[in-house]
Amino acid sequence: MEHNPTQALTIEVVPDPRADVKILKLIGPLTIHNFFDFQEITRQRPAPRLLFVDVSEVPYIDSAALGSFVGLHVSCESGKRKYALVGANERLQTLFDLTHVKSFLQAYDSMAEAESALA
């Protein structure tokens, strides 16, 4: 599979009836070339009590993007908020494992699993 590091990332805000919940769907690779919009959205105030980040259509991430996931974790921990990365493919899961972030990132296979774990 050929990777284009400048390929566009689309970030969709998925409607949710709960006022304190935000769902983001990322589509495309998340890299140093495009992760700033993701960071900006996850740092907005007021911050949601619960943030779901659907990464099921993210084929790969680089180290800068991985850092943005770690930053999201730290921000949520310090702000007493919850988050979930949902639907990471095998490549992302392997990266999480190899870099030892799997032990603390809140990552789930499905939205149902994430909702159940964080309810």
Answer yes or no: are the C-beta atoms of 94 and 61 closer than 8 Å.
no
Across the chain, mean pLDDT equals: 91
The DSSP string of 39-78 is HHHHT-SSPPSEEEEEEEE---B-HHHHHHHHHHHHHHHH
Percent of the chain with pLDDT over 70: 95
The structural domain count of the chain equals 1
Question: What distance in Å separates the CA atoms of residue 12 and residue 30, rounded to the nearest whole number?
Answer: 14
Residue 4: the pLDDT is: 54
| Residue 25 within any structural domain of the chain | no
| Residue 114 within any structural domain of the chain | yes
| Residue 27 within any structural domain of the chain | no
| Residue 78 within any structural domain of the chain | yes
Q: Mean of the pLDDT values across residues 37-62?
A: 92
The CATH number that applies at residue 77 is 3.30.750.24
Residue 21: the pLDDT is: 93
The pairing of beta strand 50-57 with beta strand 21-27: parallel
Tokens of 67: 């850092």
Per-residue pLDDT of 65-86, as tens digits, reads 999 999 999 999 999 999 999 9
**Structural domain containing residue 110:** 34-118
| Residue 8 within any structural domain of the chain | no
Residue 6: the pLDDT is: 55
